[in-house]
Amino acid sequence: MASGSLDRFLASAESHGVPVDLEEFPAGTRTAADAATAIGCDVRQIVKSLVFIADDLPVLALTSGGNRVDEAKLASALAAGSVRKADADEVRRATGFAIGGTPPFGHTTDLQVVCDRDLTTFEQVWAAAGTPATVFGIAPDLLLRVTGAPVIDLAG
């Protein structure tokens, strides 16, 4: 399980006082459906950490696995003129992590983060821990505290 990405994430979690009980799935959890099946939870409990470019700045949208982001709602919430999904290179530059393994915090740059309201309806949600094969569970209130994300309606 040794990985620079995983180590960076774990160091960030420790610095934020977030206890991490890692789950490893060698077959990977690249999609929300894959993760929910592997963990044995509802797909809506999966945190998709999606990077968007809003007026040329990267923004991380923490989205429920059952939802798609409505880019118009995101643009409105950010008061941005334009919003588009970041490509793989932009995601890595903004976060330091690859698509499919991007955690909700521990990034190499200071990103603005927003959180999908639907994630707050669960006692626990599951997010990537720096690699496509590792996840961790976290209470939504702790996720919001660590990321500083406002809760908004992102679902489209």
Domain-wise residue ranges, the chain: 4-152
Mean pLDDT of 9-26: 91
Mean pLDDT of 79-102: 95
- Structural contact between residues 49 and 60, judged by C-beta atoms closer than 8 angstroms: yes
Q: pLDDT digit string (tens) for 40-66?
A: 999 999 999 999 999 999 999 999 999
Distance CA 132, CA 13 (A): 17
Nearest to residue 46, comparing CAs of 114, 126, 147?
Answer: 126
Mean pLDDT of 106-114: 95
CATH code, 4-152: 3.90.960.10
Strand 46-54 with 125-128, pairing? parallel
Q: What pLDDT, on a 0 to 100 scale, did the predictor assign at position 1?
A: 46
Q: What pLDDT, on a 0 to 100 scale, did the predictor assign at position 109?
A: 94
Q: What is the value of pTM for the model shown? A: 0.93
